[in-house]
Amino acid sequence: ERYWLKLEKGSEDKLFLQGLIQFTAIIYHGTNENWKGMRGLVESSFGYLEKMPEVYRDVDIGLIREYLIEIGQDVESFSQEKIPTIVYRGGKMELEDLEIESVFLAAEVISEEVEVYEYEIVKDAISYARGGFKKRKYKKIEQLIVTFVKNPDLRGMAYGQIRNRVERIRESGKDIKKLFG
């Protein structure tokens, strides 16, 4: 939410993100058989995406719209097997395909949405990883962030290591300030 809330009202980017966010919420409600919640989201998601071009930011919006029309006719016909694959650049979108900046963005979103992960820890880790690219100083933090995003089974372990490293970096920064401050 942090990202689309900042976007200009009515802009294609905002409509795109709102439509996709609600599309994912539809899947969540369908999986939990919350038909009432799903019904409203189908309508609003379609409303955001209906005037979008067939392909926007390399994502096939047409497939998602077709699904929304179909499921909107009978939400109780929901089946996980019928969920369309989000097509990005002509192929199935996979976590493994994300470029590093997209991984960083996904890490921020995960840490913001899942309570057990502290957003500030992940945000600082990303900042250290970005700052260390030239010298590869924080390559391990970058690798842990990639694991955090791309491997849900190892997410908790990766987060624990990210947290430990960020706390050590923060502490060393305090020590330096004591020496020279």
The reply to whether 51 and 111 lie within a common domain is no
Query: Residue 87 forms beta bridges with which residues?
Result: 92
Identity of the highest mean pLDDT range in 27-36, 94-103, 150-159: 150-159
The reply to whether 41 and 55 lie within a common domain is yes
Taking the alpha carbons of 78, 84, 86, 92 in that order, is the dihedral positive or negative? Answer: positive
- The confidence band for 64, taking pLDDT boundaries of 50, 70 and 90, is very high
Q: What is the pLDDT of residues 104-125, one digit of tens each?
A: 988 998 898 788 999 999 999 9
The reply to whether 63 and 102 lie within a common domain is no
Among 158, 142, 160, which Cα is nearest to 100's?
142
Give how far Cα 167 sits from Cα of 35, 78, 128, 160, Å: 44, 45, 12, 11
User: Residue 162, Cβ neighbours under 10 Å: how many?
Assistant: 27
pLDDT of residue 63: 92
59: which residues sit within 8 A by CB, 6+ positions away? 16, 20, 86, 87, 88, 93
Query: Is 134 a residue whose pLDDT tops 60?
Result: no
Percent of the chain whose pLDDT exceeds 90: 46
The reply to whether 6 and 89 lie within a common domain is yes
Q: How many domains does the chain have?
A: 2
Q: Among 74, 93, 112, which residue terminates a domain?
A: 93
The reply to whether 103 and 158 lie within a common domain is yes
Q: Among 31, 63, 93, which residue terminates a domain?
A: 93
User: For 32-154, where are the alpha helices, taking DSSP H only?
Assistant: 35-49, 61-73, 100-113, 119-131, 139-150
Q: Residue 151 sits in which domain range?
A: 97-180
The reply to whether 172 and 146 lie within a common domain is yes
Query: Is 73 a residue whose pLDDT tops 70?
Result: yes
The reply to whether 88 and 139 lie within a common domain is no
pLDDT of residue 60: 94
Q: Among 93, 118, 144, which residue terminates a domain?
A: 93
pLDDT of residue 66: 95
The reply to whether 39 and 52 lie within a common domain is yes
Model-level pTM? 0.62
Report which residue type is found at 132: G
Query: Of 19-28, 50-59, 142-151, 168-177, which gets the smallest average pLDDT?
Result: 168-177
The answer to whether 149 touches 125, Cβ cutoff 8 Å, is no
Query: Residue 92 forms beta bridges with which residues?
Result: 87
Q: What is the pLDDT of residues 11-56, one digit of tens each?
A: 888 889 889 888 988 988 888 899 998 999 999 999 999 989 999 9
